[in-house]
Amino acid sequence: MSLIRKAGCLVAIMLMAGCASVQTFVETIDPSWDSVGVRTGVPYDQSWDRSVDYLVKRFDLEVLSRADGYIRTSWNYSWNGKLEDSYRVRVTLKFTPDRKTLEIKTEAEKGGPGHWILGTDTRLTDAMSTDLAALIGNDSNTGEVK
């Protein structure tokens, strides 16, 4: 195989790998919120502690206010399993004032410093919603308490 052809194949593989890392990126100027109903009988302090414990194992926490029911992570540049300067994600969790619902927002940006394109990451949103529902929530498919 000629050197040019090998180089072309290498470039194609690198481009495919780069595209694969953001297949779950959806461009939007206003990332939407998902929500998880807090399981009946689970005290707020327990829901809070479980949510913080879950996030801190995956992200660095940037803003944390138990009194306000608010958590925001810092930007994570390795959500896809490798360090990327051109793709980052973060998570915001907010308990409603009655503490019966946990609202979840994921943000993603691609492009790089000075050229970020705002969006969300559907895989991250699904993972956060599913995992947090298992920790503190009601079963949204059947309405039964987990």
What torsion, rounded to 10 degrees, do the Cα atoms 12, 13, 16, 20 define? -170
User: Domains of the chain by range and CATH?
Assistant: 24-136 (3.30.530.50)
81-109: per-residue pLDDT in tens?
A: 889 999 999 999 999 999 999 999 999 99
Strands (E), 46-129: 61-65, 70-73, 87-95, 101-110, 117-121
Report whether pLDDT(8) > 50. Answer: no
For 25-113, where are the alpha helices, taking DSSP H only? 44-56
Model's pTM, two decimal places? 0.79
Please compute, for residue 105, the number of CA atoms within 13 A of its CA located in the half-sphere on the CB side.
14
62-85: per-residue pLDDT in tens?
A: 999 999 999 999 999 998 888 999
11-41: per-residue pLDDT in tens?
A: 333 433 444 447 899 999 999 999 999 999 9
